[in-house]
């Protein structure tokens, strides 16, 4: 989608530190890490938020979670634990309107979040 920063990353129009890519998803380091490990996993297809997950695009969600599982193993945080977060909408703190999953790890993560 035009003017979407994550579509631009998916299309190699703006740079990122890429950890994984295939035909459907891309994973890259968050530019403002909130933890020692902070990776964003996104569908290449523009989906605005969780509100837009539906029957026609549901398979990408399982693919994203399989990707997250692989990355957590690659980064060796699978055993110690990590967190996956998707902020949604204004009250959820979503600042980029292209569906993304934060993979956070490498430190103890407090609960509940702010
Ligand atoms: P959210 O606030 O949940 O929508 O998450 C958006 C995330 O995208 C934030 O953690 C930002 O630091 C991150 N972000 C924004 N622009 C970029 C970029 N160009 N490269 C990597 N991460 C980015
Ligand atoms: Zn987009």
Mean local confidence (pLDDT), 103-111: 98
Q: Distance (Å, rounded) from C-alpha 51 to C-alpha 103?
A: 20
Q: Distance (Å, rounded) from C-alpha 36 to C-alpha 50?
A: 26
pLDDT tens by residue, 6-33: 999 999 999 999 999 999 999 999 999 9
pLDDT tens by residue, 45-92: 999 999 999 999 999 999 999 999 999 999 999 999 999 999 999 999
Output the CA 76–ligand 1 centroid distance in Å: 23
Q: How much of the chain exceeds pLDDT 70, in percent?
A: 100
Q: Report the residue among 5, 31, 33 best suited for mutation to probe ligand 1: largest number of ligand atoms under 8 A from its CB.
A: 31
For residue 44, the Cα-to-chain-centroid distance in whole angstroms is: 11
Output the CA 34–ligand 1 centroid distance in Å: 11
10 lines ligand 1 (CB under 6 A): no
- The per-residue pLDDT of the chain, averaged, comes to 98
* Minimum-distance ligand 1 atom for the alpha carbon of 30: 22
Q: Are 86 and 99 in contact (CB under 8 A)?
A: yes
Output the CA 11–ligand 2 centroid distance in Å: 10
Q: Ligand 2 being an ion, which residues bring their Cβ within 5 A of it?
A: 1, 4, 6-7, 46, 98
- pTM for the structure as a whole: 0.98
């Amino acid at each position: 989608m035009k003017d979407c920063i994550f579509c631009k990353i998916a299309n190699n129009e703006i740079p990122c530190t890429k950890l994984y890519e295939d035909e459907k998803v891309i994973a890259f380091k968050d530019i403002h890490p909130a933890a020692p490990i902070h990776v964003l996993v996104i569908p290449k297809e523009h989906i605005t938020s969780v509100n837009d997950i539906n029957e026609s695009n549901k398979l990408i969600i399982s693919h994203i979670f399989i990707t997250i599982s692989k990355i957590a193993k690659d980064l060796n945080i699978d055993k110690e634990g990590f967190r996956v977060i998707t902020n949604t909408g204004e009250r959820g703190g979503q600042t980029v309107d292209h569906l993304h999953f934060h993979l956070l790890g490498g430190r103890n993560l407090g609960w509940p979040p702010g």
